[in-house]
Amino acid sequence: MTKLTIIAFDGTRYDFDAADGSTVMENAVRNSVPGIDAECGGACACATCHVYVDETWVEKVGGPAPMEEDMLDFAADVRPNSRLSCQIKIAPALDGLVVHVPERQA
């Protein structure tokens, strides 16, 4: 299991033991984290699971693939550290990952 922290817009911290191979979005939905709507269910066909990767993790998580970049065009308040949580797969190298939920989803 890999440690994952999701910080909601109001500052509430959600700490999980996430299964390797799952996604940040799956863990957020399974644990009812507010602000992660995930309308497409993880198919990278919407931008309602948008998160900000904590600055200390940006390099390890890496950037979005071209398809994800296209979907981020539909997200609100995109930043350089924006990612779709459905596209971030949990792996041992991401143990301790922290992401932040934006104020709103598009």
51-98 per-position pLDDT tens digit? 999 999 999 999 999 999 999 999 999 999 999 999 999 999 999 999
pLDDT digits (tens, 9 = 90+) for 15-57: 999 999 999 999 999 999 999 999 999 999 999 999 999 999 9
The enclosing domain of 62 has a CATH number of 3.10.20.30
- Cα→Cα distances 45→5, 18, 68, 94, 99, Å: 24, 23, 9, 24, 20
Does some domain include residue 69? yes
Closest CA to 48 of 27, 29, 20, 63: 29
Domains contained in the chain, number: 1
Does some domain include residue 105? no
Does some domain include residue 106? no
What pTM did the predictor assign? Answer: 0.95
